[in-house]
Amino acid sequence: MERILITGATGFIGQALLRAWAQTAEVAVLTRARAGVAQHLSLSEARVFETPAAAAAFAPEVVVHLAGAGIADRRWTAARRALLHRSRIDTTRALVDALRDAPPRQFLAASAIGYYGFHNPRVADEHAAPGVGFAAELCAAWEAESRRLASVSTQVSCLRLGLVLGPGGGLLARLLTPFRLGLGGRIGSGDQGMSWIHQEDVVGLFSWLRDQSSAPAAVNATAPNPVSNQDFTRALGQALRRPTPFPLPATLVNGLFGVMGKELLLGGAYVHPAAALAGGYEFRFPSLPAAFADLL
């Protein structure tokens, strides 16, 4: 069986990958939180390593690198920015350095659509230049660390993840309670882009890349139909059969969340998955109503 190493395996996407691949591969996990692994049932059959050196000795053929602190979990104080940087750049550097002596066939690294910035009104495909702002700079540096492993023997693909919708976590888990109470509404003007993707298509894209003999260097992990915040709000309200009458004013967002709110909540991005579509990947949930119908 193919040997696969996953970092960030206790997270929302990592758990889904483990469930999907448990029967078709020998999966190992790299985590510093070994004590917390027991609560994740899908990890019970996986080998667990606590250091990059130990994980590299496993000689994985495919590495899926998902580790990184949640970028939208807290206000971006100086300390939080430093943590976001360490959890992405420093951990990637350590893993890449450990893998150099026995490089994998594929290194599939998480990135994010923040790479394009959140104030560009144009639709971005994988050829678009990086944007400006903290998130864009962080993603560009993150990808640069991953690409250090690229060689004749190792394909490196960076998946620029959009807003992942799935059961039990992610964006949808945060929105369901206020929207079910009829307290949902657009954020700011509502014109900002929301490039979303169903969790099953995230797993599908990782699986698709795993099977590629020549994988793209960058893949936008977003559905082919991004929407505005206003349209997203309306679609979620309709799916829940609840009104969405309470907009969140920009002034309140700025006051509560600072720069993080300005970039992630008031800003947005319209992102097109050109590489996946050109490569023949077929999205299971290409439209937002179809995704909500499945999830809700």
Mutual angle of helices 134-147 and 91-99, in 10-degree steps? 10
pLDDT digits (tens, 9 = 90+) for 142-195: 999 999 999 999 999 999 999 999 998 889 998 999 999 999 999 999 999 999
Tokens encoding 78: 């100086």
**49 has which bridge partners?**
30
**pTM score, two decimals?**
0.94
pLDDT digits (tens, 9 = 90+) for 279-291: 999 999 999 999 9
Kindly tell me if the per-residue pLDDT of 80 is higher than 60: yes
According to the model, what pLDDT value does residue 36 have?
Answer: 58
Contacts (Cβ under 8 Å, ≥6 apart) of 36 = 10
Among the residue ranges 7-16, 62-71, 130-139, 153-162, the one predicted with the least confidence is: 7-16
According to the model, what pLDDT value does residue 45 have?
Answer: 65
- Please report how many Cα atoms fall inside a 13 Å half-sphere around the Cα of residue 132, on the Cβ side: 2
pLDDT digits (tens, 9 = 90+) for 37-52: 656 555 656 789 999 9
According to the model, what pLDDT value does residue 33 have?
Answer: 67
pLDDT digits (tens, 9 = 90+) for 108-150: 999 999 999 998 777 999 999 999 999 999 999 999 999 999 9
Average pLDDT over residues 210-219: 94
Domains observed in the chain: 2-166+196-222+271-285 (3.40.50.720)
Higher per-residue pLDDT: 259 or 34: 259
